[in-house]
Amino acid sequence: MRKTSAVERPDLKYAAYARERLAAMPPPADPEAFSLAYHLLHLSYLVVADLESQVHRPRGWTLPGFRLMFKLWLLGPTQPARLAEISAMSRAAVTNAVNTLERDGLVERRPVPDDRRAVEAALTPKGEQAVREAFADQTRREQQWFTALSPDERSVLTDLLVRVLANRPQDTET
């Protein structure tokens, strides 16, 4: 494995430079807030792009499609509105994702007996096999991403993220 120090990474070098520049500015400039938000969003972006290109695209699918199928795998047949709520995405986005997965034969729509407005999305046998295979690959790749941290450090990182999530700011009041 090739050794790569932080100064060789254009993105990390930029972040360090930006932090220095902000440190020399008066408030509301906040180098710590910038650095935290930047690295959080940047790491997430890199992980998403990596999982997409290394795991899911080679199989002919996408990461958002996998995440939806993974939820169906754990939860069983589920209404799009509930999927949207869990995923914090719009119902329209779920509709589009289900359309693509249905077109590829991975998911099917079923009517809900109690409510004629509602629909349930459910994995097909092909979809279930697809989830199992991609899940194994994705897990291995996720593990590779965090090998730099010890198990304790990974646990601390997870707990800090959960605490931020549990205390998220309110939306603008209507």
Decide if residue 174 touches its own copies (CB under 8 A): no
Of the candidates 24, 35, 59, 77, which one interacts with its own copies according to CB under 8 A? 35
CA separation for the pair 63, 138 (Å, rounded): 10
Per-residue binding letters, 43-72, with DNA (x by CB under 7 A): ------x---x---x----x-xx-------
Of the candidates 51, 55, 69, 80, which one interacts with DNA according to CB under 7 A? 80
169 binds, among DNA, its own copies, none (CB under 5 to 8 A by kind): its own copies
Least Cα distance to 123 among 145, 104, 143 occurs for 104
User: What letters, b where the CB count within 10 A reaches 16 and e where it falls short, cover 69-86?
Assistant: bebbbeeeebbbeebbee
Rounded to the nearest angstrom, the gap between the alpha carbon of residue 57 and the centroid of all alpha carbons in its chain is: 15
Residues near its own copies (CB under 8 A), total: 77
Rounded to the nearest whole angstrom, what is the least distance from the CB of residue 144 to DNA in the complex?
18
Q: Which of residues 44-83 bind its own copies (CB under 8 A)?
A: 44-50, 53-54, 71, 74-75, 82
CA separation for the pair 116, 93 (Å, rounded): 21
E strands within the chain? 107-112, 115-123
Q: Which stretch binds DNA (CB under 7 A): 13-21, 81-89, 127-135, 147-155?
A: 81-89
